[in-house]
Structure 1
């Protein structure tokens, strides 16, 4: 049997640290009330999609977002939410909780870039992830190899666990994770673009390959 499925890749709803524009990797703040409402709206947009499997990271913000989405679904099948560390947000080390603007300004300056936009224009995602680890005074932040290594474990589990063709799989995860997955399988999208909270990106898996169908909608 050929493995084929649609992967609905969704960023979690807005959290308080998102609202305050602070770095949030393994740190985990609750969804704001607006974040809950927008997640529910995404659920309504996907209400007609019969999901066969559901995955999230092991962070509370992705689990709650998945629950809000599934509450709106027209095919309530009491699906188990598979929580996986593989899909946890990138770890930002000692930058966790710092203002994002401060962190990116530091990383840009240390790598001879005027600002964040120039950083992403001049360097690929792998470079930027490696800069985080280099710039972190403790060097605890994840680099690209560490991050992609666990993402790949998670994606391989999703593929190998396929029981039937034409499945619809929901994966609620994080901005950096989504950006890296999309960039891995497509060169068409702006790698510096902000991934919107509760946005939907769709990938189709067929013939042992992922293809990006839509991004950040």
Structure 2
């Protein structure tokens, strides 16, 4: 029998680096008080969902968000949080901690564009991620192949470790990770819109494929 499950993709709550509009990939900062409150609100929205498994990245901001969500849940206070590097945010290399506007202005100019908006108008997500690696003076930033390789490994673990049919699985991760997953399995959504902190996207896995049920809600 084909495995089926519902995957609830949640972006972590607002952090201080989010608030200051700085690049935050493998760098980590705590949730703001507002970030904690919105994460708890997301937990209340999902309070009646009985989760069977919980995954996060290995970053503190996703673990804290997952804990706040579970505190509001009616069923799952004793579930283990599986922390996985596979779901860590994209690494931005020497752009880590830089103002996002400054970093993307450099990436755009390196590709011959005057600003970020024109860069994104002309190029897809995969190309932009490759450009970030090119523009990083150390070339340590992850490109598309590198980041999708580990996302794919993480998703395969979720698929292969299913214990029962029709599971509900919570994955608290990051904006770029969610954008890549949505982009991989659907062309129907505007993947360039901002992934809101503590937003919910739901995917249904059935017949060996993911389908997007809702996005960035």
TM-score by length of 2: 0.98
What is the distance in 2 between the residues matched to 1:86 and 1:2? 24
Residue 216 of structure 2 is matched in structure 1 by: 216
What is the distance in 2 between the residues matched to 1:78 and 1:175? 27
Q: Is the 8 A contact 2:71 2:77 kept in 1?
A: no
Deviations 1:89-137 (A, max 9, x none): 0000000000000011111111122322222221111101100100000
What is the distance in 2 between the residues matched to 1:81 and 1:104? 34
Residue 23 of structure 2 is matched in structure 1 by: 23
Q: How does 1:53-202 map to 2 (within 5 A)?
A: 53-202=53-202
What is the distance in 2 between the residues matched to 1:116 and 1:207? 39
TM-score by length of 1: 0.98
What is the distance in 1 between the residues matched to 2:77 and 2:139? 44
Gap runs ≥5 in structure 1? none
* CA positional deviation for 1:77: 4.8
1:65 is paired with a residue of what secondary structure?
helix
1:169 is paired with a residue of what secondary structure?
strand
What is the distance in 1 between the residues matched to 2:194 and 2:105? 16
* CA positional deviation for 1:42: 0.2
Q: Is the 8 A contact 2:15 2:61 kept in 1?
A: yes
Gap runs ≥5 in structure 2? none
2:21 is paired with a residue of what secondary structure?
coil
What is the distance in 1 between the residues matched to 2:188 and 2:2? 27
Q: Is the 8 A contact 2:6 2:166 kept in 1?
A: yes
Residue 45 of structure 2 is matched in structure 1 by: 45
Deviations 1:59-107 (A, max 9, x none): 0000000000000001135100000000000000000000000011111
